[in-house]
């Protein structure tokens, strides 16, 4: 019974607004090395913690956490589209286990997911369908957001469930680190966008989808020129965060409020809760050791871009 973890930033901007070739090569090398470690581990099951960006979850019902018993990726920003191979029996057992152990995990039998889920599966496993996957959504943009403590506790319970399976489990966290791309906020949008955020955005007309993507691309192009045009990246905080995970000090994050995190590192930094859940889940397997730590602020992707693996020591 053992587990391997990989946490990786994602970006919808890859292929649209890219950094210089040497940086791109460096990131490609980091991802290729992680992919090799994962292939050597040969996971029998993948658990993927990831956020959404108003593509699958809306304010009609916005859970803090949701397990996809069935899930389909929409293929936004040229990410992979299609069904995720979710093992129904394991997903249902996971949902029951969580409920019995103090975590009110929502379930969806038709969860719609975006690049936040698709990208790590493509980059680290070669596609959406290479291994059975349990997709777990963590709300990282639509306030009110879950806090660090609750997210850590959710990850711990999922991890304890995973230890009962007697399988080689790969635990993935997708998103972060410091960043604030243009994502609409309910309190600030006009009536049309409000309607989208309340649920009509689930099936966007192609021209509106195109406009939405263009808005993010244009923001990135501007951010390269002027890093005050959005919330600045925060490499100091990002590195401190990665060190906390390496040193197994996850609990210290409980004291950081959501408002503080937004102010320190930007409003989409809440995506790092996927890393917290992933490390908390790994900790259920006992001691762990990290490897392959990488970090670079990449303005072209509006991202403090990080990558970190860890393996359980049992």
Ligand X SMILES: O=C(O)CCC(=O)/C=C/C=C(\O)C(=O)O
Diameter over CA atoms, the chain: 54
Q: How many CB atoms lie within 10 A of CB 158?
A: 27
Residues 194-233: x/- map of binding to ligand X (CB under 6 A)? ------------------x--xx-----------------
**Which partner in Fe ion, ligand X, none is near 19 (CB below 5 to 8 A by kind)?**
none
> Do residues 57 and 63 touch, judged by C-beta distance below 8 A?
yes
Which of ligand X, Fe ion, none does residue 146 bind (CB under 5 to 8 Å by kind)?
Answer: none
State the minimum distance, in angstroms, from the CB of residue 86 to ligand X.
22
Q: Are 135 and 158 in contact (CB under 8 A)?
A: no
- DSSP E strand stretches across the chain: 3-8, 45-50, 65-68, 71-74, 81-84, 106-108, 111-113, 133-138, 169-174, 288-298, 303-312
State the minimum distance, in angstroms, from the CB of residue 183 to Fe ion. Answer: 8
**Of residues 234-253, those binding ligand X (CB under 6 A):** none
Task: Give Cα separations from 84 to 5, 46, 204 (angstroms).
Answer: 19, 11, 21
- Whether 203 is catalytic is no
What x/- string results for residues 97 through 116 when contact with ligand X is judged by CB under 6 A? Answer: -------------------x
Find residue 173's DSSP bridge partners: 7, 49
Under rule CB under 6 A, how many of the chain's residues touch ligand X? 18
Q: What is the CA angle 90-111-267, rounded to 5?
A: 110
Choosing among Fe ion, ligand X, none, which partner's interface includes residue 183 (Cβ < 5 to 8 Å by kind)?
Answer: ligand X
Examine residue 58 and tell whether it contacts ligand X (CB under 6 A): no
Q: Is 146 in the site for ligand X (CB under 6 A)?
A: no
| Contact (Cβ atoms closer than 8 angstroms) between residue 156 and residue 284 | yes
Closest distance to ligand X from the beta carbon of 310 (Å): 22
Does 179 contact ligand X by CB under 6 A? yes
Among 8, 17, 53, 245, which residue sits at the site for ligand X (rule: CB under 6 A)? 53
Is 11 an interacting residue with respect to ligand X (CB under 6 A)? yes
Rounded to a whole number of angstroms, the minimum distance from the CB of residue 263 to ligand X is: 18
Catalytic residue among 115, 192, 203, 231: 115
Site for Fe ion, residues 158 to 177, rule: CB under 5 A:
175
The answer to whether residue 53 is catalytic is no
Measured distance CA(163)–CA(183) in Å, rounded:
36
Quote the CA–CA distance of 169 and 164 in Å, as a whole number. 11
Nearby residues of 36 by Cβ (< 8 Å), 6 or more positions away? none
Q: Using CB under 6 A as the criterion, which residues of the chain lie in contact with ligand X when the complex forms?
A: 10-12, 53-54, 116, 175, 179, 181, 183-184, 212, 215-216, 268, 271, 302-303
Residues with a catalytic annotation lie at 115, 179
């Amino acid at each position: 019974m053992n587990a391997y973890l990989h946490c990786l930033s994602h970006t919808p901007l890859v292929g649209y607004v890219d950094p210089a070739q040497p940086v791109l090569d460096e990131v490609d090398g980091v991802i290729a090395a992680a992919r090799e470690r994962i292939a050597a581990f040969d996971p029998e099951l993948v658990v993927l913690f990831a956020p959404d960006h108003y593509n699958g979850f809306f304010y009609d019902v916005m859970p803090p956490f949701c397990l996809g018993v069935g899930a389909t990726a929409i293929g936004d920003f040229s990410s992979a589209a299609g069904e995720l191979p979710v093992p129904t029996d394991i997903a249902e057992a996971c949902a029951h286990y969580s409920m019995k152990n103090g975590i009110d995990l929502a379930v969806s039998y038709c969860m719609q997911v975006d690049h936040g889920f698709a990208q790590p599966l493509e980059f680290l496993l070669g596609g959406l369908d290479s291994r059975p996957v349990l997709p777990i959504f963590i709300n990282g943009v639509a306030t009110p957001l879950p806090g660090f403590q609750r997210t850590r506790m959710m990850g711990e319970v999922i991890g304890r469930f995973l230890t009962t399976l007697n399988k080689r489990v790969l635990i993935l966290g997708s998103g972060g680190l410091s960043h604030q791309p243009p994502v609409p906020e309910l309190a600030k949008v006009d009536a049309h966008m409000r309607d989208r955020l309340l649920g009509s955005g689930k099936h966007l007309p192609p021209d509106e989808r195109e406009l939405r993507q263009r808005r993010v691309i244009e923001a990135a192009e501007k951010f390269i020129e002027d890093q005050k045009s959005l919330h600045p990246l925060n490499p100091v905080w990002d590195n401190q965060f990665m060190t906390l995970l390496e040193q197994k000090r996850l609990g210290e994050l409980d004291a950081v409020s959501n408002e503080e995190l937004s102010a320190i590192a930007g409003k989409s930094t809440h995506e790092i809760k996927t890393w917290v859940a992933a490390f908390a889940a790994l900790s259920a397997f006992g001691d762990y050791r990290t490897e392959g730590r990488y970090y670079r602020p990449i303005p072209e992707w509006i991202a403090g871009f990080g990558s970190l693996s860890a393996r359980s020591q049992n």
